[in-house]
Structure formats: C-alpha cells, structure tokens
Structure 1
C-alpha cells in the first residue's frame, strides 16, 4: 500500500480551509499588507468555519484534537494563497499560546482564556525576545517580583508577533536566580492591565500584514493566578514546547517552498522566450527538477517528524534539524523561483515577490540556523568530560 500522510478527514478539512481562504483571506490580502495588520474579522471567520482552536479541548469550544496534520493543511492552504503573515499569527495563537495553556494552565486559566481564543475573540502573543537579547533566553532581563500575593512586572520585549493587536501575552520573566543563573517564570498578561504599554509597530522586510511590535511593562501588577505553571519552571516549559514551535516553522517553510514551485511551474509553462515556452529550455527544466526533488525529500522528513509529534516522541534535536533545514531550503527555493520569473518576479503583483521577502525571517525566528546547528552539534558531542550525562 502506498504511503499516505493525510486521511479522509484531512481531505474534507482541506475543502473547509480552502473555502475560508477564498472567502475571507484572498480578497483582503492587499488591504492587510497596506494596513500592516490582519483584520480581526478573519479570526472570527476562521472560528465559525471550525479552523480555529483545533488543540483547545471541546469543553472550551475547540476541536480537542492533537493531530497536527490538520494544522499542516491550514499552513499549506495559506501558503498557496501567499498569506504568510496570517499563517504566522495563527501559529502563535494555535501552536504556541494555546499549547502552553492546555499543557501548563490551571482549569481556571484555561476557562478564562481558551473559549475566547477558540471563538476568535482573543488574539495572543508570546514575549520572549528582548532588545539586545536575541536567542539568549538565559539573558532575559524582564523581571517579576513578589509584592504580597501579587507579582510586579518590569521590562521590555521586542519583535513580538501580533504585539500591537493581542489581547493576551505570555511573558517570560526572571523571578530570581539559582546557582548564578536566571530563574525564569511565565506569566499570563492581559493587554488591559495597568502598566502594559505597546511600543511602535515595527517596519519589516517582509510579513508586512503581520503586526510586530515592542512591548513595555512598567510596574505592571498581576495577581498570583497570572503565573503559568510553577515559579521558576519557565525555562523547562519553553524547552518542552520548542519541538512543536520549531516544527511549526519548518512545516510552514516547506509549504511555502512547495507553493513557490507550483507557481513557477505554471509561470514557465505560459511565459514565452525566444519563441519557446520558458519551461522548454533545458536549464529551466533542470532547475525545476532540482527544486521539486529537494522539496519532496524535505517534506518526507517533515512528515515523519509530524507523526512523531502526534505520538509524543519528537525530541528537541530532531526539531532543530527540521527547523534549520526546512527554513534554509525555503529561502533557496523561493530565491530560485523568483529568478525563473525574471523581472516579473520582482513585482509585487506576483506572489513570488512577497514570498521572497516573507521567507527571510524564517531562518531567524524561533532560533537562528546557527543556534539550531549548535543544539545538534552539542548532542553529537555528548557530555563534556567530568560532567554527568
């Protein structure tokens, strides 16, 4: 029997997602790009279609499924539409914040936030990166101190996806030190809390429709129940969720690469040069053959990773491999496809132009390629002499 990644349920779900994209995404892409903001109405439309809150338990209004292949379908359909900004925002909401709440949240925290997320009423962010901090989570300076039963939060975050529009932000903050190292904790911070300040909406190379902002916390007071999980458990929580976060980025990367190749095959079949179709030139066929093969091989690896994720066996090192390889592939493939479009590839009226700009952040966000290679390399090197394994 030939291997099949998707099943009948996923095929039916794809039709639902495709209808949503045709109705509520494609007509508004240019408007969102110019406004540098995805309109909130699409979140409500996604919720009504059953495309939002897949991981959220049914008792809170979600679908209650841990099968990540449904999220893969969404990523593919948004990639085909050229809606990378929306795909990124949905990934934060669905793959990161919802997962943190489902895995680490109390019943009360889940009851407060998950129904709104599933209904499209609550948009979320996660705030880890700080000015000058980059990928160094140990160097986080944002701090939370106890004041009676409350916590008081001070600090700044940057490069926050949906930062100018989110209603809830998971904030990583220092809550002390252990053996000279920062002890991190995670907090659920409503954007309406006094002391919560939004900075400027950042101008970026790509993903223009995705609002990315700076956030500031100035004496922001939180009740004890705002702590997500145990005090000091933040680094372990972040580490536990990284395989999913990085695989989410990797899948969006391969979906974008596949879409770029499809667009380019279609373009080269129509484009005439020197009296022939562009695809009839040997160089074009060879290049498309290379790109198609690279994408299909990468997809095969990622499909195995997705199935491992579903089974709960995906580890951080494999996630790092998937993330760096797929995002570097995305950048190579999209650049090559733009080249095959010639001068038209540089024009924003062609999807490949936007895809080229949108792809660049993929090797940076969620941990740079260099960080991913370091994780893999340290695993290969094993424990240092004189240290326990």
Structure 2
C-alpha cells in the first residue's frame, strides 16, 4: 500500500510536468483543468505523506518539531492505553454486564464432554500447544524458583496446628482413626515377634545370677512376651479395652490442645519452620515441581491421552452434570461472575500496569513497527485519498476561477 500511494504521487508529479509541456506546445483550455488537478493532487499527496510519516518518524530524517509523534511519546501512549483499558473494559460493572448472559457452566460441560469423545477444536488444540510452548520457553530456574518460593511462603503462612486439630477431631468423631490404631497395634505385635530373640537376650542380661543359674530367666522372658502378645491381642479385638480408651483420650486431648492451646500451637509452628528449613524439604519441593511441570507438559502435548483414562470418565460425568443440572449451572455461573468481578476489582490496576510497563520497555523502533504494522494499511489509504481529493479540489478551484 505504501508503494501504491507513493506511486500515485509520482504519477501526479509526472503528469503535472507533462501537462505543462503539452499546454505550451498545444494550447487548449482543457490543459488548465489537468494542470490544476495534478498540481493540487501533488499538494494533497505530499501533505498527507508528511502527516502519516510524522506519526512514526521524522520526515526525510529532519528533526522537525512535532514529528515522530509515536516514538517520542511512547511512555505517555502506554499510560493512556492502560487508563483506557482500565476505564472502559476492566471495571466491575463492565465485566458483570459482559458475562451476565454467558452460561459458563454449560460451556464448560460441553467442552468436557467433547474432549472425552475426541471432538477437539483447533482452538483448544492450539491453546494446549500454546500453553506447552509457554511453559517450555520460561526459564526453568527463574520460573521454578518463583513457584517454589511461592509454595514455601504459603506453607510458612499456614497455621498448621488448628488444621491438624480439626482433622484429628473429625477423624475421631467419624471413627476413622480406628484403622490407624489397629494398624499400629498389629505393627507393634509384629515388631515384638521379629525381635523376640533380642528381647529374650535383654531379659537374660538383666536377670540376676540366681535366675540365670536356675534357668528361670527363660521362663520370665516367655511370660513377659506372652503377656505382651495377650495384651496387644485383647486391645485389638476388644472395642472397649482400657488401653484403647486411654489412647483415644490422649488423641482427644491432643486435638483440643492443637485447637486451643497457644503453647502447643507455637510448638507445632516451630516444628513446621524447622521442617521447611531442612535441605531435605527443599529437595522434596524441587522434585515435586519438576514432576508437576513434566506432568503439565505431557498433558498439554497430549490432551486426548489425559482424557482416555479414569480421569477422563470422571471429567465426562462432571461435564454431563454441568450441562444438564440447571441449579448447579446457576450456582457455578454466579460463583464465576463474583470471582471475575472480584478479580477485576482487586487486580484490575495490576493487569493494565502489565500493558503499560510492557509498552514502556519496548524501544522506539519496536513501538513504531508494531503500531504501523497494525494500522499502516489504512494510513496509506489516507495518502491515496488525499492525493485524489486534493486533485478534485484543485479542479473545483480552477472551475470557480474560470467562471469568475
């Protein structure tokens, strides 16, 4: 388009010169109209060329005031764009109005069903590949460090003691602690059985000389072991055994202390901080991040494989429920609207700041190229229109001059 606009301007200039020569050689009133058209077209074309060029650079490289407007004012343009986006798009009222009639739950349900059945659009496939490319392009050390640092901060802020207390209290109330308790009792019996020779040797060493000389130490050891086996067996099979009661009482006391005892909560917090500061914990977080990243990449590169197993069946069932259950759709849509509106209200300024800071980081050449690439074609039409309209105005002026 730039070549066409420039070519049209050159044609007008050549035509003007040719018309003047021909008017000298072959005088005729019509040449006045041709000269007026081409002359005014050159003026209009040159004026619009200057105006369009002045937006992006200095015309002919000359530092004329108020030229190269976009590169000279890119920071102000960036701030203006941010304010425009914030005012006209990222406001709670605009977002709420825009998504009011959108059934997000129904769309999500259909998407899950289609994914399970292998109906994957190019848009979703492209989005999955884009996510994978983005994840691979990010610096592993830097991005991973941000993720792992954020995880550690969230764990450090977590008040663990009340959470553990609530979990323990709920487990006791629902009798979910019984399998764990019975497992511990069985583990204790198996441990004693596996180390029976060692226990007999300890009792033999602690027995006095008389017991060893008479051989009663073996009987004492057998009696102790038999008593332990019997005690553990009774504890395992008798629901109201006193040891069980003592253990449950201890668990209830621990749960209450975790919920209400500041000293116990402080001890749990110190223990949590020590665990987080341990190098082994750091290695575990590193490994967890690498496994998570690898899993995300695998899922993004092969979304259909992810949907083919039990997870796919579960997601398909979830999709059917979302697509068919109107009350559930209402609840999900209401939650989504409130979440989006809340996010815009809280983070709208941060979102537009990304736009502003990104544009400010671009150099003047990058800003010029990107904006000119977006609207340059239309600007060249302005040059073409200016050339033609200028010529028509020149003819009109010449007509008025001839008539008067």
Shorter-chain-normalised TM-score: which range? under 0.3
Pick 1 or 2: higher relative contact order, CA cutoff 8 A, min separation 6: 2
TM-score scaled by length of structure 1: 0.18
Q: Comparing both structures, which one devotes a greater share of its residues to strand?
A: 1
